[in-house]
């Protein structure tokens, strides 16, 4: 009882006349040590929004895309780690990373709802100041696509004026994908992954290989014997679904904002985004579903 009474007294002291007071012991002097703003570099972060127009809605447009880039940075960080964990046959840690990236893309998908509050009339008032800048030029998005298997060497020329970005993409172009790492893990675990798959040119975009479908079918038809690999297959499907939903929400947001107009970067806009929905990272993991239980 005495403990409960003391807590009640402390609570009453913390709120006086409807105003919450600072609890005793809370640090308030950060002149000589790092504070929250310093740790997060908020002076730099919050000064990075530099509208070109004086339109009220341009900060929304900037912040939407800047936060997307931060999430993409985390996704690439995690996917590199996933690949390394699979190379080390550390499936639990690889699965944790895949789950995190899946939730990042779910967050990014919901984030489109904020930009969707921008009406066509509002966007038209400042769209002209964007010039030819476009999300097509996001090197981090390209990096995520590359490490997941959608590679295209021609895209490196888009970043000729940004050597650091071009170097990053060149490195990922020459490196195995997350799927390559998973298939090599399967081979080391005794699954009959064809040698030509293991020896493939990793610079090429992944295309469906029918010879892999029986490998995945064997896993799906005996989940008890292959549970870690089976669960990882489903994690990969979860991730692809999350990315596809993000792509679709992007398309719908663009369509409601500019209709079927040409994109600022010169693309066909909505039609260009529709074609992206046909891209798949792990096609065999979808094909195998048609034969399960047949």
Q: Which whole-number Å values give the CA distances from 283 to 121, 212, 255, 262, 286, in the listed order? A: 40, 10, 27, 30, 5
Q: Check the annotation: does 264 bind a ligand.
A: yes
Residues comprising the chain, all counted: 294
Q: How far apart are CA 106 and CA 242, in angstroms?
A: 6
Q: Check the annotation: does 196 bind a ligand.
A: no
Q: Check the annotation: does 230 bind a ligand.
A: no
CB atoms within 10 A of CB 238: 17
Q: How far apart are CA 22 and CA 24, in angstroms?
A: 6
User: What token pair was written down for 9?
Assistant: 């007294």
Q: Check the annotation: does 127 bind a ligand.
A: yes
Q: Check the annotation: does 258 bind a ligand.
A: no
Q: Check the annotation: does 219 bind a ligand.
A: no
Q: Check the annotation: does 220 bind a ligand.
A: no
Query: What b/e sequence results for 61-74 when a residue is b if at least 16 CB atoms lie within 10 Å of its CB, and e otherwise?
Result: beebeeebeebbee
Q: Check the annotation: does 64 bind a ligand.
A: yes
Q: Check the annotation: does 9 bind a ligand.
A: no
Q: How far apart are CA 182 and CA 236, in angstroms?
A: 10
Show binding-site residues for substrate: 61-65, 123, 127, 264
Detail the residues annotated as belonging to a binding site for heme.
250
Q: Which residues are annotated as a binding site?
A: 61-65, 123, 127, 250, 264
């Amino acid at each position: 009882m005495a403990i409960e009474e003391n807590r009640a007294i402390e609570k009453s002291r913390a709120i006086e006349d409807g105003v919450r007071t600072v609890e005793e012991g809370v640090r308030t002097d950060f002149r000589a040590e790092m504070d929250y703003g310093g740790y997060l570099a908020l002076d730099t972060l919050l000064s990075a929004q530099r509208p070109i127009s004086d339109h009220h809605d341009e900060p929304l447009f900037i912040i939407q895309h800047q936060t997307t880039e931060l999430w993409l940075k985390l996704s690439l960080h995690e996917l590199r780690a996933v690949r390394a964990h699979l190379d080390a046959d550390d499936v639990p840690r690889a699965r944790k990373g895949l789950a995190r990236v899946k939730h990042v893309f779910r967050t990014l998908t919901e984030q489109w709802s904020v930009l969707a509050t921008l009406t066509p009339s509002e966007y038209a008032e400042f769209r002209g100041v964007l010039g030819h800048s476009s999300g097509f030029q996001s090197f981090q998005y390209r990096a995520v696509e590359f490490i997941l298997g959608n590679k295209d060497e021609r895209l490196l020329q888009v970043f000729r004026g940004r050597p650091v970005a071009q170097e990053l993409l060149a490195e990922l172009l020459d490196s195995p994908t997350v799927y390559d790492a998973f298939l090599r893990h399967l081979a080391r675990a005794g699954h009959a992954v064809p040698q030509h798959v293991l020896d493939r040119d990793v610079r090429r975009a992944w295309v469906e290989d029918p010879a892999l479908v029986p490998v995945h079918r064997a896993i799906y038809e005996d989940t008890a014997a292959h549970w870690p690999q089976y669960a990882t297959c489903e994690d990969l499907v979860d991730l692809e679904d999350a990315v596809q939903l993000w792509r679709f929400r992007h398309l719908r947001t663009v369509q409601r904002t500019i209709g079927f107009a040409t994109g600022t970067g010169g693309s066909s806009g909505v039609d260009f985004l529709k074609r992206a929905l046909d891209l798949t990272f792990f096609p065999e993991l979808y094909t195998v579903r048609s034969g399960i239980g047949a």
